[in-house]
Amino acid sequence: MSLETLALWGVFTAFVGVLLAVDLLLISRKQEIMSVRSALQWSALWISMALLFNAGVFIFLGQDKGFEFLTGYVIEKSLGVDNLFVFLVIFGYFAMPREIQPKALTWGIMGALIMRFFFIVAGAALLDTFHWLVFIFGGILIVTAFRLAFEGDSEIHPDRNVLIRLLRRVMPVSPSFSGTRFFVKVDGRRAATPFFVCLLVLASTDLVFAVDSIPAIFAITRDPFIVYTSNAFAILGMRALFFALVGVMQYFVFLRQGLVAILLFVGSKMLISEWYHVPVPVSLGVVMGILLLAVLASLMVRNKVEEGEIEATPLVEAEDSAEHDGVRPEKAAQEVGSSRHSS
């Protein structure tokens, strides 16, 4: 590891540590839903921080590494937007109160940072040792693209989650939320809260996302520093992005098609890497071009719809409306706890 890379690791750790501290101390403690304006401001801040760090990569590690970081960041950010739909489903299933959703996302983000670090280190080591794994990773991306294109949205079944099955063998699940507490006493017994159960579902779901998304950036670079930092900055801005996009994601009707095209491109790039290396600036241009086309196509479709025909209704409703769109906490806990009889 070069001295420049080691110094950037230190800068990155301090950078992220300060921003996370600000987020935890000033934002998450409020335990209230983010307004769209506040979410957009925080999204802009996180993107600005990522670009500022990217400038440091350009200066200290050179143009190639700088383009690798930027391309990886754009890919992971775009894939992360699609993952927000799954978070909506999970929150709806557990009927999580709006005011504690930011704290749940914060815990989920910190868990994702830890899990992906080990995932990336292991992936980089495996690729260095077993070079043929590049074809496996490329195949994963191609399969993911086709699954995304033809299978549509997959249903979320927390009661079938492996971690939840293990948890219910150890302790019961309380019938209702207790703020952001993980455990409470129920009839004299220690019980997990729906908040804790929801966090387990978020963590295991992110692990599945990592299997799909991390190979995408390995198609751009195999430098663990670039892979992890671009992943981390993309993940860190997801909480604010969640609340910024929650009311308008329905307008991005061609987002999924754009992601399919990106996955097909980076998967194909990985499969042919033994015979032809696609320059990183070209990869960045292709990815940005695909995203731009998806956004423009979505805007064109929206403009053709008569005014008033589409309502920008928030996809994450308040607790009192969750009865219609999700499962009440009591019912969710009952399903998670009683699934033993159906297994």
pLDDT by residue (tens digit) across 32-53?
Answer: 566 777 778 888 888 898 999 8
**pLDDT for 142:** 85
Assign 152 to helix, strand or coil: coil
**pLDDT for 24:** 65
Domain containing 21 equals 3-342
**Cα angle: 7, vertex 13, 19; to 5 degrees:** 135
Q: For the segment 229-257, what is each residue's pLDDT rounded down to a tens digit?
A: 998 888 887 877 777 776 666 667 777 78
Q: What is this structure's pTM?
A: 0.73
The backbone torsions φ and ψ at residue 291, rounded to the nearest 5 degrees and listed phi first, read -65, -40
| Amino acid making up residue 162 | V
Mean of pLDDT over the chain: 75
**pLDDT for 311:** 46
**Rounded CA gap, 60 and 10, in Å?**
13
CB 4, CB 61: distance < 8 Å: yes
| C-alpha closest to that of 71 among 199, 234, 203 | 234
**pLDDT for 222:** 83
Burial class of residue 101 in the structure, from the number of CB atoms within 10 Å of its CB (0-12 exposed, 13-18 middle, 19+ buried): buried
Q: Which residues, 6+ apart, have CB-to-CB distance to 230 below 8 Å?
A: 68, 69, 70, 72, 73, 76, 217
| Amino acid making up residue 201 | V
Q: For the segment 289-332, what is each residue's pLDDT rounded down to a tens digit?
A: 887 888 888 778 776 654 554 444 343 443 443 443 444 444 55
Residue 23 pLDDT level (bands cut at 50, 70, 90): low
Domain count, the chain: 1
69: pLDDT strictly greater than 90: yes
